[in-house]
Structure 1
Amino acid sequence: MVLSWTRRNVFRRAKKEKEQSQLLEVEVVIPNHFRCPVSLELMTDPVTLSTGITYDRVSIEKWIEGENRTCPVTNQVLTTFDLIPNHAIRMMIQDWCVQNSSYGIERIPTPRIPISSYEVSDTCTRILSACQRGDNERCQELVGKIKVWGRESERNKRCIVGAGAGAVLAYAFDCFSSNSIDKHVVVLEEVLEVMTWMIPFGEEGVSKLSSRASLNSLVWFLEGKDLASRQSAALLLKEVCVQELAKVGNVVEALVKMLREPIGSSTSTKACLATIFNLVSSAAANREGIVQRFVELGLVSLLLEAIVDGEKGVCEKALGVLDCICDCQKGKEVVESNALALPLVVKKLLRVSPLASSFAVSILRKICDKREEGVLVEALQVGVFQKLLVMLQVGCDESTKENATRLLKLLNGYRNKAECTDSSSLDFKHLKKPF
C-alpha cells in the first residue's frame, strides 16, 4: 500500500515537472500595441507625441536628438516636441506583465516623472542665491537634489546640463573656494562630484573654474586623502585654462603625486596625463621651468612605467608628454640617461596606435639628433630600422613620415657597426596584404 502511494506521488511530480517545462517552452508573443514603433521592443515608459502616436520615451528621445523633426510613423512635421506620458497604455502593459509572470516576464516599474528645464533653472537660481548669502548648508542641499536627479536617468542628466547647471556649479565652487576651504569642504566635495558628469562646461563655466581660488581648491583636493575627491579634481583640472593653471605654485607636485600614488582608476591617470600634457606643451611664459620641475620630481620614470603597463589611452598620453619633455634640454638628457627609455619607445613604435607611433618617432628623432654613435647603434640593435621601414610601408601622416625618413637616413650609416639582427625576430604583422 505504501509502495503504491509512493509511486503515485512520483508519477504526479513527474507530470507536474513536465507541464512546467512545456509552459516555459511556450513563446510569449508581445501584443503589437505594446511595442514601440521605433525599437519594436516592449515599451517601459510610453509617451505620446503631438501626432497621437505612442513611443517608448528612450527611443523617441534618441530620434529627436538625432535632429529628426518628423513623427517616425506618420512622417508629419512635429509642431512641438512635448512628450506626454501615456498612463493608460503603461497600466495595460503592467497588467499584461503580471498575467504572464509565469512565463518569466517581469512587471515593468512605474517610471519616475522626468524633470523639466524649469525645475532645473529654478534650482540653479536658488543655488546662486545661497552662494551670495554664503549659506553652504542650503547650497549643499540643492546640489544634492541635482545629484539625485542625475542618478535617476541619463535623460535627467541631459536636461540638467542643457539648462546650464555646469556654469552655476562652477560659480558655486569658485564662491566657496574664495573663503576657507576647510570650512566649506563638504559642499565643495558635493559640487565636485556632480560637476564631473557636466563636462564640458562652456566658456562661462571654464572661466569660473579657472579662477585662482578655484584652481587652488582643485589642487588642494588633488593632494588630499579622499579618493573620490582626488579623482573628481583630476577630471576637472584638464578642463581649466592652462595659462592660469601654470601660475599655481604646487600644481606640478600634486600631479606627480597623483601619478606616483594612483587611486586604481585609469580614468584619473589619463586625466592627470592630459593636464600634464597641456602644461608642458603650452605657450606659458614659465613653460621651461615647469618642464624642469616635472623632470626633477621624477616624471620621466613614472611615464616609462605608465607606458609599460598602461592601456592604449594611457600609453598615448604618456608618450605625448615624453615627446614634449624631450624639447627641453634637461628633459632630453634625463630621457637619454634612462636605460629603459630607448628600447621601450622602439617596442611601442607599432603596437599602440597611429598617434602613439607619431609621438614615438618624434621622441626617437630628438634622441638621435645628437648623432652620438652609442645611441644610434643601440637603436639599431633593438630593431628600430626595420620598424621604421614597416611604418613607411603601412602608411602614416606627413609629419611622422618626415621624421621616420630622416631617422632612416641617419641610422643607415651605422648599420654595419650594429650587431646582426635575426630577421625571423622581426614583427611583420602590421604589413598590409598585397591582395
Structure 2
Amino acid sequence: MIISSWRRKRAAVLSEKEQQRNENGEMELMIPRDFRYPISQDLMKDPVTLSTGITFDRQNIENCTEAGNFTRPLTNQALRSLEPIPNHMIRKKIQDRCVENRSYGIERSPMSRGPVSSMEVLEILSKINVACKKRDREGCRFLVVGVKSLANESERDKRCFVTNGAGSVLSEAFNVFSMASFDENAVVLEEILSALTIMFPLDGEAKGFLGSVSAMHCLIWFLSTGDLSRRRNAVLALRELVLSSDQRIVDELSEMEGATEALFKLIKDPICPTATKASSTVIYQIITSSSTTEKQAAKLVNLGLVSLLLETLVEAERGMCERALGILDGICNSKEGREMAYKHALSMPVLVKKILRVSNLATEFSISILWKLCKNEQREDGGVLLEALQLGAFQKLLLLLQVDCPDKTKENVSELLKLLNRHRNKMECVDPMDNWKDLKRSF
C-alpha cells in the first residue's frame, strides 16, 4: 500500500511538471510506462524478466538479491528463479524510441551492455593462453585490454572473470613474457600487470606464477624504471605476493638486486598513498620474515630509513603509523638500527608519545622498540633511560600494566619499569610536551 501510494503521488507530480512545462512552451517527452523501472520510474538501461514474468532493470534486481532479498519487488512474492532473462523486445523498443527522438537530444542508445557470461570469459582466457604459447605479444595485449574493459564494466563482470580463473591465466601470461627481454615485452607486460591488479586478491596458483624468479625480477624492474602507474601496479603486486604464506617469495625478494632501494624510494618520494602503504607493507614483511634480517636492516639503515620513519611518525595516520613502527621494530633487532635510533633526536619523544595514543598494535610496537633500545643501552649515565623518564614513560608504563595487552608486551613493560626505576632519583619527570618545542627536525 505504501509503495502504491508513493507511485501514485510520483505520477501526479510528473503530470504536474509536464503540464507546467507545456504551459511555458517547453517540450517534454513522456517515457512509456513499459520502459520504466517499476519502483524508481526511471528509464531502464538493461531490461530483464524474472520468473514472475515482470520486467525490471538488471542492476536494481541484482542489488536486491545481493542484499539477501529473494522476493519480487512490490508484491513480495518469492522468486522461483534468480536468473534474470534479457528482455530483447523491450530493449529494442527503447532503442528505437531513442532513435526517433534523437532530435530532442535523446541519446541513441542508453542501454548498457548485457553482463559477460562464463562462456565468454573462458573463451577469452583460452585465447590468451594460445597467444602466450605462440609468444604473440600484440595478440595477447589486445585480449588483455578487452579483459580490462569488461572487468571494469561492473562488479558482476569482474566477479565472473575472477571465479573463472582470470588471475591465474594473467599471472601465467606475465610469467611467460617476463622470461624474455623486459624491454621487448614491456608493453604487453605492463598491460597484463594492470589487468592483474583488478583481479586481486589472487589465489595460490596465480601467486605461484607471479612469484617466479623471472616475474619478480620484472616487477622490480618496473618498480625501478617505470612511470608512476607502472610503479604503483608493481608494488601492489609485490604486496600481494609477500602477504602469502610462501616464505620462499619473501626470501628471494629480499635478495634481489635493487628491490630494497626501489621500495625505499617509494616511501621517500611518494607517488600516491596507496603505493606508499604497499611499499611499507612489503618492507615490513621483508624485515620481519626474511632469513637475512640483519643484512636487510643494515641496508635500510644505510639508506636512511630510520630517520625517514621517525619523521613520518610525527603526524602519520593510524595505518601508516603501525606499519612504520613495525618496520622500526624489525630494524632495531640489529645493532646498526639501534645505533641510528640512539642518535636521532626524535626517537624517544616519538616512541613515548605513541604509547596508548594510536592503537593497541602501535602501542605494542612502541613498547618493543623501547625495550630493545633501553635493554641494549651502553652509556653508563643511562642516556635513553633518563630521556624516557623525562618524557613521562614511567607513568604510561604503569598504566599499561592495568590494561589488557599481550603477555609479551607486559613482560617488556615490567622489565622497562625495572630499568627506569634505577634512574628515577636522578631526574624529575616533566611535561612531555615541553620536550617537543626545541627538537630540530630535518624536514
Superposition TM-score, scaled by structure 1 size: 0.78
**Counterpart in the other structure of 2:278:** 271
**Counterpart in the other structure of 1:27:** none
**Counterpart in the other structure of 1:327:** 333
What is the rounded CA distance, in whole Å, between the counterparts of 1:388 and 1:70 in structure 2?
Answer: 57
Equivalent in 223, 240, 246 of residue 254 of structure 2:
246
**Counterpart in the other structure of 2:245:** none
Equivalent in 364, 368, 379 of residue 362 of structure 1:
368
Name the SS for the 1:152 alignment partner.
coil
Equivalences for 1:376-395 in 2 at 5 Å? 376-393=385-402, 395=404
Equivalent in 289, 296, 318 of residue 302 of structure 2:
296
What is the rounded CA distance, in whole Å, between the counterparts of 2:302 and 2:331 in structure 1?
Answer: 12
AA in 2 matched with 1:185: A
Name the SS for the 2:48 alignment partner.
strand
What is the rounded CA distance, in whole Å, between the counterparts of 1:86 and 1:384 in structure 2?
Answer: 72
**Counterpart in the other structure of 1:257:** 265
AA in 1 matched with 2:250: V
- How much has 1:315 moved relative to structure 2? 1.5
Contact 2:367–2:409 under 8 Å retained in 1:
yes
Instruction: Check 1:287–1:36 CA distance in 2 against 1; reply closer, same or farther (3 A cut).
Output: farther
Instruction: Check 1:83–1:403 CA distance in 2 against 1; reply closer, same or farther (3 A cut).
Output: farther
What is the rounded CA distance, in whole Å, between the counterparts of 2:212 and 2:429 in structure 1?
Answer: 58
Instruction: Check 1:323–1:83 CA distance in 2 against 1; reply closer, same or farther (3 A cut).
Output: farther
352-361 vs 207-216, which moves further:
352-361
What is the rounded CA distance, in whole Å, between the counterparts of 1:408 and 1:251 in structure 2?
Answer: 40
**Counterpart in the other structure of 2:129:** 128
Contact 1:54–1:86 under 8 Å retained in 2:
no
**Counterpart in the other structure of 1:12:** none
Matched, 1:81 2:87: no
AA in 2 matched with 1:149: L
- How much has 1:319 moved relative to structure 2? 0.9
Q: How many residues align?
A: 395
Runs of 5+ in structure 1 lacking a partner? 1-18, 24-30, 100-105, 427-435
What is the rounded CA distance, in whole Å, between the counterparts of 2:419 and 2:52 in structure 1?
Answer: 71
Residue by residue over 1:372-423, the C-alpha shift from the partner in whole angstroms, topping out at 9 and shown as x without a partner, is 5211110121222233344455644444344334333432333332234249
What is the rounded CA distance, in whole Å, between the counterparts of 2:38 and 2:312 in structure 1?
Answer: 47
**Counterpart in the other structure of 1:171:** 172
What is the rounded CA distance, in whole Å, between the counterparts of 1:324 and 1:257 in structure 2?
Answer: 19
Name the SS for the 1:182 alignment partner.
helix
- How much has 1:77 moved relative to structure 2? 6.6
Equivalent in 409, 415, 422 of residue 406 of structure 1:
415
Instruction: Check 1:389–1:211 CA distance in 2 against 1; reply closer, same or farther (3 A cut).
Output: same
AA in 2 matched with 1:232: N
- How much has 1:260 moved relative to structure 2? 2.1
Contact 1:365–1:407 under 8 Å retained in 2:
yes
Residue by residue over 1:5-37, the C-alpha shift from the partner in whole angstroms, topping out at 9 and shown as x without a partner, is xxxxxxxxxxxxxx77x99xxxxxxx9995577
Equivalent in 348, 362, 381 of residue 354 of structure 2:
348
Superposition TM-score, scaled by structure 2 size: 0.77
Name the SS for the 1:47 alignment partner.
strand
AA in 2 matched with 1:88: I
**Percent of aligned pairs with the same residue?**
44
**Counterpart in the other structure of 2:4:** none
